[in-house]
Amino acid sequence: MATILVATWDGAGNFPPQRALVRTLIDRGHSVCVLAHDNQRADVETDGAHFLPYVGAAPFDSAAPGSDAIVFDAVVFAPAIGVSLSAEITRLKPDVLLVDTMLAAALAAAQASGGHAAEGARRGVRPRVDLQLPSLRTGRGYATACRPCRTVAAT
C-alpha cells in the first residue's frame, strides 16, 4: 500500500472533504500522514492518520475573529508551510502527495521536490498550477507547475 502525505489547513470548506478522503484511504490500507496546523490535530488523529505539525508556521484558526485578514500571510504564502512540506517529503519519501490548492508555498515545495504532486482532494483532477510565487530561497518570483505522476482517489 502507499504512503500518502497530505498538506492541508483549517479552511472552513477545505478540510471536511479532505478528511473524508483521508478516512477512505486509511480504510483501504494506505498509510496517511497529514501535515496541518496544531488546532487540527484532534480531527486528524480521530480519522486515524498520523498528525504532523507545521514547524514555524503561525497558528491559524478559520473560526477566529479576523482570520480572513491574515489568511494570505499566515497560510497561502507562508514560507514555513512550504519548508515544513519539503522537510516531510525528504523524511517520509511518500508515494503520493495531496496538497490543498490554497497552499501556494506548499504547491511550490511539492513541485520543487520532483515527486508526486496532486492538487487538492478532487477525483480525476489533472492539476496545472501557474502562479507567481516568491521564491522560498531568493525572494524573486517564478512560475511553477504541478502535474501529478500518480494519484490515489476514492472510487
Cα dihedral 82, 78, 35, 4 in deg (nearest 10): -40
For residue range 114-154, list pLDDT tens digits in order. Answer: 754 444 333 343 433 333 344 444 444 333 333 333 433 33
**67, 83 in Cβ contact below 8 A?**
no
Cα dihedral 16, 18, 21, 22 in deg (nearest 10): -100
For residue range 8-17, list pLDDT tens digits in order. Answer: 999 878 899 9
Q: For the chain, which residues make up each domain, given as ranges? A: 3-144
Return the CATH architecture of domain 3-144.
Answer: 3-Layer(aba) Sandwich (3.40)
Percent of the chain with pLDDT over 90: 64
What are the φ/ψ torsions at residue 133 (nearest 5 degrees)?
-115, 150
Considering 42-51, 96-105, 109-118, the range whose residues carry the highest mean pLDDT is 42-51
Return the pLDDT at 1. 86
